[in-house]
Amino acid sequence: EIRKKAFYRVTPDYSISMLHEWRKDCTNIRYLAEATPDTADYINGLLRMHAVDEIILYTVPFISGSGRHFFKSALPEQHWTLSSLKSYPNGVCRIIYILDKKAR
């Protein structure tokens, strides 16, 4: 469902400055950037440049070892508001946070 609603699937091939320019144009287009081990540095850059206004987290009840840390160093302080929380019968939880723009 999330992928269907996204107009663009953003990858590291998109420059962060280009995304910033698109946001300044006040377009109401939905972009999707998925955090994976291969895109972790790019996602960190998006967060540092304040290019993210919604975070969707899926928690899976499985531990596979040491895992990977997506945030290697401190990120700029931002305030987020819980928008949605849904749990599924298989134990997966989806949590959606939206950026609290008033708290900037």
One digit per residue, the tens of pLDDT, for the chain of length 104 reads 666 655 666 777 777 777 767 667 766 666 778 888 888 888 888 888 888 888 888 888 888 777 767 776 778 888 999 999 999 999 999 999 999 977 65
C-alpha distance from residue 58 to each of 22, 67, 84 (Å): 27, 15, 12
Q: Give the contacts of 79 (CB within 8 A, at least 6 positions apart).
A: 99, 100, 103, 104
CATH label, 2-103, candidates 3.30.450.40, 3.40.50.2300, 3.40.430.10, 3.40.50.970: 3.40.430.10
Q: Domain coordinates of the chain in residue numbers?
A: 2-103
pTM > 0.75: yes or no:
no
CA dist 24 and 17 (Å) reads: 11
Q: Which of 60, 59, 53, 43 is nearest to 81 (CA)?
A: 53
The pLDDT of residue 8 is 62
